[in-house]
Structure 1
Amino acid sequence: MTARQARSPLAHARMAPRDVARAGAAGLRTRPGRVLLSALGIAIGIAAMVAVVGISSSSREQLNRQLAALGTNLLTVSPGRTIGGRDATLPAEAEAMISRIGPVTATSATGRVPGVRVYRSDRIPKVETNGLAVRAARLSLPRTVGASSRGGAWLNGATSRYPAAVLGADAAGRLGVGRASPRAEILVGGERFTVIGVLDPVALAPELDTAVLVGWEIAVDLFRFDGRATTVYTRSRDSQVEAVHAVLAATANPRAPGDVSVSRPSDALAARRAADATLNGLLLGLGAVALLVGGVGVANTMVISVLERRAEIGLRRSLGASRGQIRSQFLAESLLLSALGGVGGVLLGVAVTAGYAAYQAWPAVVPAWATAGGLGATVLIGALAGLYPALRAARLSPTEALAAS
């Protein structure tokens, strides 16, 4: 009988995945202290990566919200001048056409009511107009431009049909109206209007600060307002602001797009994108360093494990275990060790992110790619780090392993 024929049938048996996992787990259980420290090292590295990604993402989300409040995606459309130098007008359907642009998420408009003066009372000399403008306003205006009320309320479906007005911050000061109340009345075009609200300064639309805002319907009924918008405010998806800007003029007035004036995208949008790109590069670099450190820790642990367990390897080989089975066992140990550290690190990183974000009053954001990538990367690093020790263990002959022990 040849040596090949005398070899134990165990050498030809293939271990089931469950058996491989059990063998790997058994190797970890025999050295709990070292496994705990090794897993802790991996967990700290992964937790650092997840926490850095999470805290940076939370900070970026807070920054994005602040920049969004500055109007990074707000564009305004207004009449320009004709070729002959005269003031142009927007078509009556301009607002509706603009709202049909796919990336546009919100639209609103105001229409200047010409020839209408505003006074605190009928005893004010006619020449003291205070430079105030009367504007018909859509009900969606505050939501679109980010306006808030200092006092009172905004126009609604009922008050927009009656003589009710909302004053801009500067307009209220010039008219001497401290707050909205049923007794606060002003003269608009000779008609008495009740002041139902006063706005805070509107940073995104400063023209509203000196405006007296009335309902669209009442402006048409009382002042012969033609119903044409003179300023259309649009909000669009951040990624599509430039594309929307390029088509706004032609959409608002297809016959004469040159007669339309469109505001340019905010500089804050470019700053936001630059910040995003910088943070993304920083996060990738920190993540790579953390994973590298974790991989070195796994490789170091597994190499030492192979050196210390030569007797075990020699005994198993003597009993008929094949090189492939030895290799699978040590590779399984490496993967389990990495997965243990990865799961612990992800949980620790999420907890740190949530705690720090709550302390800073930020929205807690941990990207899914950070958690999934952290787990996936630890498994991959564990496989790569355990490959050399597994191959080294498999190459040991029974006699060599037993003699070295």
Structure 2
Amino acid sequence: MRSELKPARLSLPDILRLGAVGLRARRARVVLSALGIAIGIATMVAVVGLSESSRADLMARLDRLGTNLLTAEASEDEKGMPVKLPKNAVAMVERVGPVLHATATADIDARIRRSDVVPQERTAGVISQAVRLDLLSTLGGQVAKGTWLNPAGERLPTTVLGSVAAERLGITRTGETIMMNETRMVVIGILEPIELVPTLDRVAMVGFPAAERHFGFDGHPTTVFERSTDASVDDVRAILARTISPGNEAGVKVSRPSDALAAKAATDEGLTNLMLGLGAVALLVGGVGVANTMVISVLERRQEIGLRRSLGATRNAIRLQFLTESLLLSALGGVTGALLGAAATYAFAWVQGWTAVVPPWSMAGGLAATLVIGVVAGLYPAIRASRLHPTVALNGS
């Protein structure tokens, strides 16, 4: 009794070898098709990596600078009249239990010029403020050149410039002089940029006593800075305005400088989503390219398909062959794109001085997306190939 013949099942290595045959035979086309996938995946991986690296750097900066700094600025009361903070505002804030440090600055009426031959209206965008000696320690600022104000210097015609102020005035070293109104002031220090309060970078700072002596300063601060324990920031924020100006708290504007950096992180997240959308479009275009390549491959290999069908290959085997070929093509582009995206992230992070962060999920997600693209792009060509009749295929019609 003769047993019925059954088609042999292809093993996984056989399926992979069959799928790779078409790729090796058309290398230029494969490279161009894989390039579309690679660009999409590289864009998505790089965008996620750069976003995470930037966010990690931002969080590190926040940890270094601290998020426990609050500012209270004089504003306008309910009638729209300007409010003056009390002279003892700092002392009042320091009496609040959780407060660790408090200091203040005040705007003064002094036009700043590089020298007395420069017209008074040309101030180079630099403003003047009176400051307390403990301002730098409270804000965590650093002196780039020279020295900070001391108990003797705060009474003399000396000034410390913010980084931008020094640049605009053309001051590159200490010992040079500038004009504040008609008073010649000696520059004794230039500060590093103050990240939490960047407005101070454009300021020429003098001590409270010098401001009172030379510029008619009345002793009322304009802005109060305070640092409290991390756990009590919200509680201090809730009472800071009425502590400084009892009965007129509407005229005191309280803010948290670190919120600006946090807002920057949110802005970066929105930009990241936009770039991910562009990467997805590039990936979709790459998927269309893969589908086009597979359709052309089926048309060009009709006789090969007919021969294999005549020799006993089943429709399922033909479908698996072309579907595997599509998957391999997409995977080639996906792996290349993931590596390129990671390399771009590390290179850009190195240039920026960041710690490079490439989330594993972005790599895994990119590769998974390429496999989905491979299945979707290769499904129709694979089904079309399996439906070719052997006689028609061999005839080439």
Structure 1 residue 276: Cα displacement: 2.4
- Which residue matches 1:248? 236
- Equivalent residues of 2:70, 2:227 under 8 A apart: yes
The equivalences for 1:68-217 within 5 A come to: 75-76=69-70, 89-90=92-93, 92=95, 94-95=97-98, 109-110=101-102, 135=133, 142=137, 145-151=139-145, 172-173=158-159, 198=189, 200=191, 204=197, 209-211=205-207
Q: Summarize the Cα distance change of 1:254–1:47 in structure 2 as closer, same or farther, 3 Å threshold.
A: same
User: What's the offset of the Cα at 1:132?
Assistant: 6.6
Q: Is the 8 A contact 1:202 1:209 kept in 2?
A: no
Deviation at 1:323, TM superposition (A): 2.1
Shift of 1:283: 0.6
Would the alpha carbon gap of residues 401 and 75 (structure 1) be closer, same or farther in structure 2, given more than 3 Å must change? same
| 1:232 alignment partner, SS class | strand
Match of 2:254 among 263, 267, 289: 263
Q: 1:403 to 1:309 in 2, by over 3 A?
A: same
Per-residue deviation, 1:292: 1.3
Partners of 2:36 and 2:193 lie apart in 1 by 52
Separation of aligned partners in 1, 2:286 and 2:66: 40
Match of 1:299 among 275, 288, 291: 291
Q: TM-score, normalised by structure 2?
A: 0.57
Q: Contact 2:241–2:253 at 8 Å: present in 1 too?
A: no
Aligned to 2:166: none
Q: 1:378 aligns with which of 358, 363, 370?
A: 370
Q: What is residue 329 of structure 1 aligned with on the other side?
A: 321
Q: Which amino acid aligns with 1:36?
A: V
Task: State the AA in 2 paired with 1:294.
Answer: G
Counterpart in 2 of 1:21? Answer: 16
1:256-277: per-residue Cα shift (whole Å, max 9, x none)? Answer: 9978867224584586356325
Structure 1 residue ranges without an equivalent (≥5): 97-107, 113-130, 156-163, 181-196, 213-229, 237-242
Decide whether the 8 Å contact of 2:309 with 2:390 is kept in 1.
yes
Change beyond 3 A, Cα 1:366–1:372: farther
- Equivalent AA in structure 2 for residue 33 of structure 1: A
Provide the residue aligned with 1:117 in structure 2. none
Query: Quick check: 1:30 aligned with 2:22?
Result: no
Q: Which stretches in structure 2 are left out of the alignment for 5+ residues?
A: 75-84, 105-128, 161-172, 176-187, 209-223
Distance change in 2, residues 1:78/1:310 (3 Å)? closer
Q: Which residue of 1 aligns with 2:302?
A: 310
Amino acid corresponding to residue 173 of structure 1 in structure 2: T
CA–CA distance in 1 between the matches of 2:338 and 2:131?
58
CA RMSD of aligned residues (A): 5.3
Counterpart of 1:340 in structure 2 is 332
Aligned pairs for 1:28-67 within 5 A: 28-47=23-42, 53=47, 57=51
CA distance in 2, matches of 1:349, 1:309: 35
| Displacement after TM superposition at 1:281 (Å) | 3.8
Q: Which secondary structure does the structure 1 equivalent of 2:312 belong to?
A: coil
Q: How many residues align?
A: 309
Superposition deviation, residue 25 in structure 1: 1.7
TM-score (norm 1): 0.56
SS of aligned partner of 1:263: strand
Per-residue Cα deviation, 1:306-350 (whole angstroms, up to 9, x for no partner): 122222222322333322222122111111111112222333445
Asked if residue 8 in structure 1 is aligned to residue 11 in structure 2, the reply is no
Alpha-carbon separation, structure 1, partners of 2:204 and 2:53: 32
Per the alignment, do residues 17 and 153 of structure 1 end up closer, same or farther by CA in structure 2, a change over 3 Å counting? farther
Q: Identity percentage over the alignment? A: 44
Secondary structure class of the residue paired with 1:9: coil
SS state of the match for residue 255, structure 2?
coil
The 8 Å contact of residues 111 and 231 in structure 1, kept in 2 or not, is answered as yes
Separation in structure 2 between the aligned mates of residue 288 and residue 170 of structure 1, nearest angstrom: 63
Contact map agreement 2:287 2:377 (CA 8 A) in 1 = yes
Q: Partner amino acid for 1:263?
A: V
- Is 2:395 the partner of 1:390? no
Distance 1:275 1:366, change over 3 A: same
Change (3 A) 1:364 1:326: farther
User: How far 1:34 moved relative to its partner?
Assistant: 2.7
CA distance in 2, matches of 1:333, 1:292: 18
> Structure 2: which amino acid aligns with 1:316?
R
2-structure distance, mates of 1:210, 1:305: 78
Deviation at 1:149, TM superposition (A): 0.9
- The answer (yes or no) to whether the contact 1:249–1:262 under 8 Å persists in 2 is no
Q: Who is 1:116 aligned against?
A: none
With 247-256 and 381-390 compared, the bigger mean Cα shift is at 247-256
Cα displacement (A) at 1:400: 3.3
